[in-house]
Amino acid sequence: MTDKPAVIEFLYELWDANWDDGPLGNYKIHQYPITKKTSKRIYFTLHGRTGFVDRQRIEAAGEIYYGRSRRHLHLSPPEIPGPAKRPSLQQLRQAMADAHPDRGGTNTEFIAARQRYERARRTA
């Protein structure tokens, strides 16, 4: 008789290790073991304490905000975000044209778009 080891399931959290210093992107994935599943709730252990989330909501969306500890919990490991891509000069030029007051934009939007374009042009 062979007993299969019990599969341990987890809830996952994308955690930024530098959360207090701003978005530096030093991400880690924390996992919290699921201890019990019912038709309405999923129970898990978080730092030695038991918590639960609404099963239908997390299964429908794939994630849920757990307000007791202010965390976003996921059913599967979330992807670690990469660095944001900088827009090309052509994209910035198009955004500047779209923000022009003659095309329905405002003076403020156009000035901000032009400043972004000029700044990118100087660094390119």
Run of H or E including 74: strand 71-74
Candidates 6, 23, 7; CA nearest to 15 is: 23
Q: What is the pLDDT along the chain (124 residues), one digit of tens a residue?
A: 556 566 679 999 998 877 665 556 678 899 999 999 999 999 999 989 999 999 999 999 999 999 988 899 999 999 888 776 788 999 999 999 999 999 988 999 999 999 999 998 998 7
Return the pLDDT at 6. Answer: 63
Return the pLDDT at 46. Answer: 92
